[in-house]
Structure 1
Amino acid sequence: MQGPFHRGGQRRPMAEINVVPFIDVMLVLLVIFMITAPMLTQGVQVDLPQATSEPIETPEDSDPIQVYVDPEGNYHLSLGGDTTAVTLDDLAERIAVILERRPDTPVMVHGDRQIAYGQVVTLMSTLQRAGVANVGLVSEPPQDE
């Protein structure tokens, strides 16, 4: 008597895939990314002013352009994790090129609390000349004492 898996002396091919090695590799990658992700955060150290405000909604598919003004008054441009020191003229040119390709990219300004108000106004004017319609000013929530 022949069973359902018997084919005249031939073995029926197994239709299941062993996923255990795949799971092992995925768990190792998960651990590696969990350890390295906090180390990838880089930027310019600025002491942001504290203010109560609502978060700005940004599209999930686009990284914002981040402009930093450090305590010495130097400008830094950050897009997609790469931060470079720039002059105001170079900043305007780079942002204009980025906005030409992706006009909906949000621009966020991180200004140190120690810099003069006039320097932030100059930066905002430069961003406006570069074609930025809306600028987000980044602050930290106040610390309760």
Structure 2
Amino acid sequence: MGMGAATSGGGGGRRRRGRKKAVMSEINITPMVDVMLVLLIIFMVAAPMMTAGVPIDLPQTAANEMPSQTQPVTVAVTPEGVIYVDENAVAEAELINTLTGMNTSPEDRIFLRGDTTADYGSVMRVMGILSAAGYTKIGLITEREPG
């Protein structure tokens, strides 16, 4: 009796129309890696532009002195915060006017000497004034350690 009964659907298994695949519970890592790589490239390109500060040309202590045709201008800061341009005391507001009066251009090298007991802020303020005026070749003068 039961053998002769026909099943609907024409096949051995049951199929439902419109049924989708089972939900995948695994995380797809590829899109996340793609996003991270794009962010890495963006930060690598943008990071050099975000640096703030004064570009400084620091002298090498082991190198020999190079001969030059002109004597570079020396700006010194004393422990009291007094600014000297080639042994002449200058007010902070008059520093750039004094340098332009000496026929210096922004391409000329300027040596900055700061006393070891001078306020760090005073030396950095002078360096900022020089940099804002367009002087890009600023060298910090140091002395070699004895021995």
TM-score bracket for this pair, using the shorter chain length? 0.5 to 0.7
- The residue number in structure 2 matching 1:99 is 104
CA contact (8 A) 1:76 1:85 kept: yes
Report the CA distance shift for 1:55/1:65 in structure 2 as closer, same or farther (over 3 A): farther
The aligned length equals 87
**Identical aligned residues as a percent:** 28
- The residue number in structure 2 matching 1:62 is 70
Structure 1 runs (4+) greater than 6 angstroms displaced: none
The CA distance in 2 between the partners of 1:127 and 1:66, in whole Å, is 12
Kindly report which structure 2 residues correspond to 1:67-82, keeping only aligned pairs within 5 A, or say none. 67-78=75-86
Q: TM-score, normalised by structure 1?
A: 0.53
CA contact (8 A) 1:67 1:77 kept: yes
Task: Decide which of 103, 113, 116 is 2:116's aligned counterpart.
Answer: 113
Please provide the CA RMSD for this pair: 2.2
Report the CA distance shift for 1:58/1:106 in structure 2 as closer, same or farther (over 3 A): farther
The CA distance in 2 between the partners of 1:114 and 1:76, in whole Å, is 16
CA contact (8 A) 1:92 1:129 kept: no
Query: CA shift at 1:53, angstroms?
Result: 2.1
The CA distance in 2 between the partners of 1:127 and 1:118, in whole Å, is 14
Task: Decide which of 85, 88, 91 is 2:92's aligned counterpart.
Answer: 88
CA contact (8 A) 2:111 2:139 kept: yes
Q: Rg larger in 1 or in 2? A: 2
Question: What residue identity is the alignment partner of 1:94?
Answer: T
Report the CA distance shift for 1:59/1:125 in structure 2 as closer, same or farther (over 3 A): farther
The CA distance in 2 between the partners of 1:121 and 1:96, in whole Å, is 20
What's the CA shift string for 1:70-112, capped at 9, x where partnerless? 121100001xxxx210011211112234224xx5421001110
Structure 1 gaps of 5+ residues are 1-51
Q: Is the counterpart of residue 139 in structure 1 residue 142 in structure 2?
A: yes
